[in-house]
Amino acid sequence: MSAVKNVMKNNYRNMEINEFLSQQLKDAGFGGVEIQKNPVGAKITVYVTRPGLVIGRKGSGIKDLMAKLDQRFGLANPQISVLEITNPELNPQIMCNRIAQLIERGTAFRRASMWSLNTIMNAGALGVEVTISGKLRTERAHFEKHTLGVVPKSGDVAGKIVRTGITHVLTKMGLMGIQLRIASKADLPQEFQMLESAAAQPAQPTPSATTEAAEAKVTEEKGVEQSGQA
């Protein structure tokens, strides 16, 4: 197998694992997963808002999850780490799942979108954008986009501070897609940086200032000599 096919196969498997974990850990507040390969097996880091539901009593939840991953994806001896998300309102995947849950319970999609916009902005985000597509109100599919704040769309800044979450929800009208983009204010690069070491050192005279001081001293000495001769 070539290197390109191997990379595509691993990416497809990681996508399937991400979708599987999002369904299994839905009640625990699934916020994403990181998969790393090692010589022993695979290291899986799961980010959730309620880690106690994932771990289970005496680690029973972790053992059950490891058995399912081994049976379904052939991951021999997977090492699973569960980390808690401290600020779930700034996680796009968690907020996507919350919008989907609100829509499943009968909440209007516009009301769910506006609630998520206000919640995310109150948490300290730079900007947020919610896009909902599908058969929203009629038989003809279309999409609606709601934005609040500043969300960069291109450039180096967009790649660093914008994170995206995608999920789907099945309604009576059909399948509805939800995409949420959050621009993090904490990841925004600083415009300037103060160097404390440079500020602590005494200011060094510039060459021009040194030359002017020397010329002034010579002029002063000449004036003293002329006054003495007089």
CATH number assigned to the domain comprising residue 146:
3.30.1140.32
For position 84, what pLDDT does the model report? 84
Residues 71 and 103 in one domain: no
Q: State the amino acid at position 162 in one-letter form.
A: V
Residues 37-58 pLDDT 10s: 777 777 888 888 888 888 888 8
Residues 157-200 pLDDT 10s: 888 889 898 888 888 888 889 999 999 887 777 766 677 765 55
Residues 102 and 180 in one domain: yes
Distance in angstroms (rounded) separating the CA atoms of residues 179 and 137 = 18
Q: State the amino acid at position 44 in one-letter form.
A: I
- Helix intervals (H) in 29-183: 51-55, 60-73, 92-104, 109-122, 156-161
CATH number of the domain that residue 9 is part of: 3.30.300.20
% of the chain at pLDDT higher than 90: 11
For position 34, what pLDDT does the model report? 84
Inside any domain, residue 137: yes
| pLDDT class of 211 with cuts at 50, 70, 90 | low
- The answer, yes or no, to whether residue 2 has pLDDT greater than 50, is yes
194: buried, middle or exposed (CB in 10 Å: 19+, 13-18, 0-12)?
A: exposed
- The answer, yes or no, to whether residue 68 has pLDDT greater than 90, is no
Inside any domain, residue 103: yes
Say which residue the tokens 């995608």 belong to.
166
Domain housing 120: 88-184
For the entire predicted model, the pTM comes to: 0.69
Total domains present in the chain: 2
Distance in angstroms (rounded) separating the CA atoms of residues 5 and 224 = 89
Question: Computed over its alpha carbons, how large is the radius of gyration of the chain?
Answer: 30
- The answer, yes or no, to whether residue 13 has pLDDT greater than 70, is yes
The SS3 of residue 8 is helix
Inside any domain, residue 201: no
For position 56, what pLDDT does the model report? 82
Q: State the amino acid at position 100 in one-letter form.
A: A
- Average confidence score pLDDT of the chain: 80
Stretch 64-75: mean pLDDT? 81
